[in-house]
Amino acid sequence: MFYYINYFNELAKSGTVFWFCALTGTGMFFIQFIINIFSGTDQDFDISDTTEASSDSADARKFKWFSMQAITGFLMMFGWTAITCQNEFGFKNIPTIGISIASGILAALIIRSIFKYAKKLQSAGNSYRIEDAIGKEAYVYQSIPKDGIGKISISLQDFTHEIDAISHNSEALPSFTRVKILEKKDDNTVVVTLL
């Protein structure tokens, strides 16, 4: 036991542990940054625990204990703070480790809060359910050929959408014709009839 404590103490004195944490955290940060830029999404891998919110609720509540961003933030802040405490201020191991752990936890909490509130700001944007279009009027945007698929233009939730459409009677419908949506054919196509 004392061997491991002395070994860690020697590593801490040399700064190896702190440099490892600082460089690992910084490397992870840049990898996540590059993945987010090129994928266009927020890639976050959670280690979480899922529990029931209450006996009255059918939805399960998800408590996120750790995320890659929080771990990255902790390692990066822990490492760089420890290096600064040792090299710039000449602190001994125990105060250095204490200050570094506190700053790492603070960084992880701040990063977790930022992502938590950022997710609340996310919006579904101009997405819609195709079922919402049934029974509404629309205009033929791209002519619907006989026994073929064209496009209609419809306003849903204050946005204009183009939806694939086929004619109810398999007749050709020219562009700018007013139509009514009768039913959904599949997830991307509706059936329309001439008004």
- Cβ contacts of 189 within 8 Å, gap of 6 or more: 149, 163, 164, 165, 166
Q: What is the pLDDT of residue 181?
A: 93
164: tokens are 């694939």
Kindly report, residue by residue over 45-74, the tens digit of the pLDDT: 444 443 433 334 333 333 444 677 788 888
Under CATH, domain 130-194 is a member of which superfamily? Nucleic acid-binding proteins (2.40.50.140)
What's the whole-model pTM score?
Answer: 0.46
pLDDT given for residue 36 in this prediction: 67
Q: Could you tell me the end-to-end alpha-carbon distance of the chain, in angstroms, rounded to an integer?
A: 85
Give the pLDDT confidence score for residue 63 in this predicted structure. Answer: 41
Torsion of CA 90, 91, 93, 95, to 10 degrees: -170
Q: What pLDDT score does 145 carry? A: 92
Q: What is the pLDDT of residue 62?
A: 39
Residues of the chain short of pLDDT 70, as ranges, are 1-14, 36, 39-66, 118-127
b/e burial code for range 3-32 (CB count within 10 A of at least 16 → b)? eeeeeeeeebeebebbeebbeebeebbeeb
Q: What is the pLDDT of residue 9?
A: 60
